[in-house]
Amino acid sequence: MKKVITYGTFDLLHFGHVNLLQRAKELGDHLTVALSTDEFNLIKNKKAYHSFENRKMILESIRYVDEVIPEKEWDQKIRNVIKNNIDIFVMGDDWEGHFDFLKDYCEVIYLPRTVGVSTTKIKRDLLVSNA
């Protein structure tokens, strides 16, 4: 069984996230999502609208997602890849090159981001439309 992993906050889930999850799953047979905890989001300077538990429940409802684990720190990726027998690490290409150190442990693939959508843009557009 070919196992894939990806990481993120996945707040206010949108089609860019789903496009990423769909393509990640297509690369193997099992997709694990390491979901940023609320505490780790603070380290990433991100404030998610939905709590970790609610973001986790939403992700677990997606047909492409087989397992959700917590992402608590930047340095857990090698441990996750080894412990979960991961074959492929996938991220959107806004992260191109940032995780190449994982090439010693698994395949590293950066997929093109979906243009025109982001959680930040959604929040900004809603602010403007309700101003």
> Which residues contact ligand C2G (rule: CB under 6 A)?
7-10, 16-17, 20, 36, 44, 46, 71, 91-92, 94, 113-114, 117-118
Q: Which of 2, 44, 83, 103 is catalytic?
A: 44
Nearest 10 degrees: Cα torsion 82, 87, 91, 97: 80
Q: Which of 3, 25, 46, 72 is catalytic?
A: 46
CA–CA separation, 65 and 123 (whole Å): 25
Shortest Cβ 114–ligand C2G spacing (Å):
4
Q: What is the DSSP string of 15-34?
A: HHHHHHHHHHHHTSSEEEEE
At 131 the three-state DSSP class reads coil
Task: Confirm whether 123 is a catalytic residue.
Answer: no
User: What is the number of the residue whose Cβ is closest to ligand C2G?
Assistant: 92
Catalytic residues, by residue number, are 44, 46
